């Protein structure tokens, strides 16, 4: 089947949710994940959108994820929350944690949430942006199965390990930084391995430690750290925050997010929510506006997160193009739901 189908974000959400429920996911967890899938499609981040839904369903079926898990959130100190995803999807655990994190940060000025026994949280910036939309500076970390070797080494120690910073603005984040410790997200290699498309040199290294343009070879080797040793340093920072601090599995002990082997990965997330008013008084918004203006005033420059915002506007106006064969595959998984 060739061609594309144009869908709305709500239709994407319903399609993804139906497939997840049919695979054995409880309704609330399916909806939490499906909302994130729709947001990724809306922002043009296809690698974390509908393309990933068959894998999610496969992981529920094989037991890599417990689709029926109900997350538990405990307050461990005045400004500290600890969520146990219980080997279920990360999204419902993050949702449950945010319900308490947002009011806690507003009342205390700063609060933090850790998540353990978790899974791939998809687009990290999606979660951080929700904190900014609540008027808070949101900083997020998530670790992943090891795929980046230290500079000079060949054995992976940390994952692609992204961090995200979302700064509140008028109605939407004024700034949204979402970047991984690797040159590119591992999911981008997986996409190109499926299509047979080569990757640019510098994205990944083969098992021999040499650069490769073959995504399949790169997946057998290691991801290239962004900025060399500096990228590996970012990976270590995230590993400390998302794994060591949260009590989650280190990347070297986590099973892969792809495939069916290894059981639940047990990775983690960490979120810090900060009330600008508690630290900056009334001047925070003006300073952020000045900072953003210094960027946008330059011809050809754009703010981090600006491209995603443009994609959202375009998707809302024109719809979301979905490959017809992918739509058919997920609809079949949903069983007509």
Identify the CA nearest to 236 among candidates 120, 165, 157, 145. Answer: 157
Q: Is residue 194 classed exposed, middle or buried when 0-12, 13-18 and 19+ CB atoms within 10 A define those classes?
A: exposed
Identify the CA nearest to 305 among candidates 174, 184, 186, 182. Answer: 174
Concerning whether 27 is annotated as a catalytic residue, the answer is: no
Alpha-carbon gap, residue 69 to 55, rounded angstroms: 18
Which entry of 47, 118, 147, 180 is annotated as an active-site residue?
A: 47
Concerning whether 48 is annotated as a catalytic residue, the answer is: yes
- Computed from CA positions of residues 292, 44, 225, 140, in that sequence, does the dihedral angle turn out positive or negative? positive
Identify the CA nearest to 333 among candidates 2, 17, 49, 3. Answer: 17
Alpha-carbon gap, residue 126 to 269, rounded angstroms: 13
Alpha-carbon gap, residue 9 to 42, rounded angstroms: 6
Which entry of 13, 41, 43, 188 is annotated as an active-site residue?
A: 188
Which entry of 13, 41, 43, 48 is annotated as an active-site residue?
A: 48
Concerning whether 47 is annotated as a catalytic residue, the answer is: yes
State the pairing for strand pair 267-274/110-118. antiparallel
Asked if 195 contacts 176 with a C-beta cutoff of 8 angstroms, the reply is: no
- φ/ψ of 207, rounded to 5, equals -60, -20
Q: Write out the catalytic residue numbers.
A: 47-48, 188
């Amino acid at each position: 089947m060739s061609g594309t189908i144009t869908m709305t974000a709500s239709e994407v959400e319903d399609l993804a949710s139906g497939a997840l429920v049919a695979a054995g996911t409880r309704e609330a967890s399916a909806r939490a994940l499906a909302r994130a899938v729709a947001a990724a499609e809306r922002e043009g981040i296809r690698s974390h959108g509908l393309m990933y839904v068959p894998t999610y369903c496969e992981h529920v079926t094989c037991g890599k994820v417990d689709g029926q898990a109900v997350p538990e959130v405990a307050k461990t100190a005045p400004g500290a929350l600890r969520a146990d995803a219980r080997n279920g999807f990360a999204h419902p655990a993050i949702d449950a944690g945010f319900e308490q994190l947002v009011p806690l940060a507003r009342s205390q000025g700063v609060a933090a949430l850790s998540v353990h026994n978790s899974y791939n949280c998809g687009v990290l910036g999606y979660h951080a942006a929700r904190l900014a939309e609540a008027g808070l500076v949101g900083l997020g970390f998530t670790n992943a199965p090891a795929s980046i070797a230290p500079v000079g080494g060949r054995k992976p120690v940390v994952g692609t390990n992204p961090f995200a910073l979302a700064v509140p603005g008028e109605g939407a984040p004024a700034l949204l930084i979402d970047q991984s410790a690797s040159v590119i997200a591992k999911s981008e290699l997986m996409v190109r391995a499926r299509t047979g498309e080569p990757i640019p040199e510098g994205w990944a290294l083969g098992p021999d430690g040499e650069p490769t343009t073959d995504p399949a070879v790169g997946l057998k080797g290691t991801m290239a750290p962004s900025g060399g040793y500096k990228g590996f340093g970012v990976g270590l920072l995230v590993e400390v925050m998302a794994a060591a601090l949260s009590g989650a599995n280190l990347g070297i002990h986590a099973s892969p997010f792809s495939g069916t082997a290894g059981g639940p990965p047990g990775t983690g997330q960490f979120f810090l929510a900060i009330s600008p008013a508690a630290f900056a008084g009334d001047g925070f918004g003006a300073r952020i506006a000045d900072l953003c203006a210094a960027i946008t005033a330059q011809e050809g420059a754009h703010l981090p997160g600006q491209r995603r915002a443009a994609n959202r506007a375009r998707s809302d106006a024109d719809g979301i193009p979905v490959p017809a064969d992918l739509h058919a595959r997920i609809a079949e998984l949903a069983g007509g739901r």
